[in-house]
Amino acid sequence: MTGITRDSNLLVVLGPTASGKTRLGVELARRFNGEVISADSRQVYRGMDIGSGKDLTEYGSIPHHLIDIVEPAYEFNVFEFQRRFLDAFGDILQRGRLPVLVGGTGMYLEAVLKGYRLVEVPKDRVLRGELANLAVDALAERLRSVNPRLHNTTDLLDRERLVRAIEIAAYERNHAPEPLPEIRPLVLGIRWERSVLRQRITDRLRTRLDHGLIEEVARLHAEGIPWERLEFYGLEYRFVAKHLQGELNRNDLFQKLNSAIHDFAKRQDTWFRRMERNGTSIHWLDGTGDPLAEALGIISRERHDT
């Protein structure tokens, strides 16, 4: 049996930062002949190891995918994640192994679990030339005509977004997205009592700062990544870049970054709760107990129920 149950062909392990999801995902992959697919928006970048928390030593002999696949200057996005996930997912299943999706980037997780129908839309220079002389009101009317089910009204307020929205709507009328494979996930989530998770975040940040995080960001900048671009890669890179530019001393760097990561973990939890409200079934594991044993129990019950 390729899946862990007859009704599932994908195991998902999610959780907030510092929750221990990588360790659990790797161990489950080891026990069920699996391979890990990362759902982390920063671990795709080569050379961004400490700040993104790759923890590559945890994988051992377990194959992993979507880690270290593009250079830092590359603009990776949810469309490319979904495309690369589907390639890895199909390849792993074809070889008779279990895909194990592990991560905390909510949009990436939902692109898989909700089956976002994403289409890569190239720029249409002919259409853009046709739209160039239209006023904003005329562009808004054009958008409504090509997309009568328009929900995102913010596209009506900005000329550049209007043009892009028209371009996308026009393309999608003639180019249906490729059908998605059938994905039947069993989703596990690691949950910690808030004060315990806060301490785990603080301890991990202190360790990373002591073991090369600042030097990693300095190296990336020396290799040609602008400070402004580094800020795009998340909290660790944003705050360390400010420190290296003299805007924060070492103590302020730690205090402000630590607080920002705590807030980020809260936002991740909010995202996961919203996923549940929108129909994603998540089996929550107690991080302070034995999440591996709990996960194995859930998988065993799911096997007997199917």
**pLDDT at residue 14, as a whole number:** 98
Is residue 138 located within the same domain as residue 208? no
Please compute the mean of the pLDDT values over residues 213-239 and round it to a whole number. Answer: 95
User: Mean pLDDT over residues 264-276, rounded?
Assistant: 96
What are the φ and ψ backbone dihedral angles of 89, each rounded to 5 degrees?
-55, -50
List, as residue ranges, the binding site for ATP.
Answer: 15-22
Predicted confidence (pLDDT) at residue 1 exceeds the cutoff of 50: no
Residue-level pLDDT at 164: 85
Q: Do 154 and 109 share a structural domain?
A: no
pLDDT greater than 90 at residue 179: no
Q: Is the pLDDT of residue 272 over 70?
A: yes
Residue 3 lies inside a defined structural domain of this protein: no
Residues 86 and 168 in one domain: no
Give the pLDDT band (50/70/90) at residue 303.
confident
Answer whether residue 270 is part of any domain. Answer: yes
Say if residue 85 is in the same domain as residue 47. Answer: yes
Dihedral in degrees, nearest 10, Cα atoms 22, 265, 40, 82: 120
Per-residue confidence at 222, pLDDT binned at 50, 70, 90?
A: very high
To the nearest whole percent, how much of the chain has pLDDT over 90?
74
Instruction: Assign 42 a pLDDT band (cuts: 50, 70, 90).
Output: very high
The answer on 275 and 144 residing in a single domain is no
Binding site as annotated, residues for substrate: 17-22
What was the pLDDT predicted at 157? 63
Q: Are residues 64 and 212 in the same domain?
A: yes
| Whole-number Cα distances in Å, 298 to 94, 97, 301 | 25, 20, 5
Same domain, 242 and 98: yes
* Judgement on whether residues 131 and 278 belong to the same structural domain of the protein: no
CA-derived radius of gyration, the chain: 22
Same domain, 190 and 136: no
Q: Is residue 2 part of a domain?
A: no
- Reported pTM: 0.84
Number of structural domains the chain divides into: 2
Task: List the domain range (segments joined by +) for residue 141.
Answer: 125-174
Provide the annotated binding site: 15-22
Let me know if residue 192 belongs to a domain: yes
115-141 mean pLDDT = 87
- How confident is the model at residue 306, as a pLDDT? 59
The DSSP secondary structure of the chain, one letter per residue, reads --SSBTTBSEEEEE-STTS-HHHHHHHHHHHTTEEEEEE-SSTTBTT--TTTT--GGGTTTS-EESSS-B-TTS---HHHHHHHHHHHHHHHHHTT-EEEEEE--HHHHHHHHTT---------HHHHHHHTT--HHHHHHHHHHH-TT---GGGGS-HHHHHHHHHHHHHHHH-PPPPPPP--EEEEEEE--HHHHHHHHHHHHHHHHHTTHHHHHHHHHHTT--HHHHHHT-HHHHHHHHHHTTSS-HHHHHHHHHHHHHHHHHHHHHHHHHHHHTT--EEEEETTS-HHHHHHHHHHHHHHH-
Based on the fold, state whether residues 112 and 224 are members of the same structural domain. yes
Range 115-119 average pLDDT: 76
Residue 1: inside a domain, yes or no? no
Q: Are 16 and 110 found together in one domain?
A: yes
Residues 68 and 165 both lie in one domain = no
| Domain CATH for 267 | 3.40.50.300
